Amino acid sequence: RRYVAGSRCRSAARLDGKVAIITGANTGIGKETARDLARRGKVIVACRDTAKAEAAASEIRAETGNEQVIVRKLDLADTNSIREFAEKFLAEEKELHILINNAGVMLCPYSKTADGFEMHLGVNHLGHFLLTFLLLECLKRSAPARIVNVSSLAHHGGRIRFHDLHGEKSYNRGLAYCHSKLANVLFTRELARRLQGKSQRRAGFTANALHPGSVHSELVRHSFVMTWLWKIFSFFLKTPWEGAQTSIYCAVAEELDSVTGQYFSDCQPAYVSPRGRDDETAKKLWSVSCELLGIKWD
């Protein structure tokens, strides 16, 4: 059981006067990440289901004594919602020091977002891509700042199918999840490359991705079989608190102040698949993502 639990973030770093956004922080590893960061500083809980998010935030406030745990509506399956969230945040806050792109969907039956994107690609990759784009200048002004993208070991099974990004020709929901997690790794890699100017390095402006582990959470709710298996083999799965440790590590650990473009698991660097190290695919995915979202990000 101790082996399954993995490593723990040991950093005692404070975030006094700093602001963190965590997407999908009303349940699972997102909620546990918010709980930990709320003991250190101000946390914005960004979720689609605000009622559930308020319940989680209320619990965290009571436990940590931090009233600066704030809920804001964010639906990553709708670019209008993403833009509204960013606009409101930028009107209310002058700085942003940590952006944790945590929210995600898994094993969804075939469906599309409000903008016509395949659901896994739209929520897990494109939604966070747009959110990061809209908040990037605020992050730069606030540096040192960190962007943390929650990916998965499943990226090893993914490939970027540019000829059928939205699964209209063929669709497998397990593979669709893998493809989107590979997109997270490639996005992180290309973002870090683009942020590699000397001024960003000096300021400690970083972007890293991670695998949280196999976690007993609601992420498998779209699959009856996986939900059943998760219950049977729960002893061999991480708890949400255990699964949150690498997210917390990437967000606060002092030794990562100048580490960027890396992929972590159990609070240490981990192996990235060959497709996850393909710079040409990363650049093309960046370009295609900008085109799909109607943005210019040079």
Q: How many residues does the chain have?
A: 298
Cα 229 from Cα 76, distance rounded (Å)? 28
Active site residue 177: yes
Neighbours of 294 (CB within 10 A): 9
Which residue intervals of 143-172 are DSSP H helices?
A: none
Strands of 98-101's sheet in order across:
69-73, 41-47, 15-23, 98-101, 145-150, 205-211, 263-265, 268-269
Of 3, 171, 177, 263, which residue is the catalytic one? 177
Q: Does the CA dihedral 230-233-236-239 come out positive or negative?
A: positive
Name the nearest CA neighbour of 250 among 238, 235, 264.
Answer: 264
- Phi–psi pair at 169, nearest 5 degrees: -90, -40
Name the nearest CA neighbour of 101 among 53, 156, 30, 48.
Answer: 30
CB 281 within 8 A of CB 186: yes
What letter would DSSP give residue 289? H
Conformational region of residue 116, where left means phi above 0, alpha means psi within -120 to 50, and beta covers everything else: left
Cα 173 from Cα 76, distance rounded (Å)? 18
Q: Enumerate the active-site residues.
A: 177
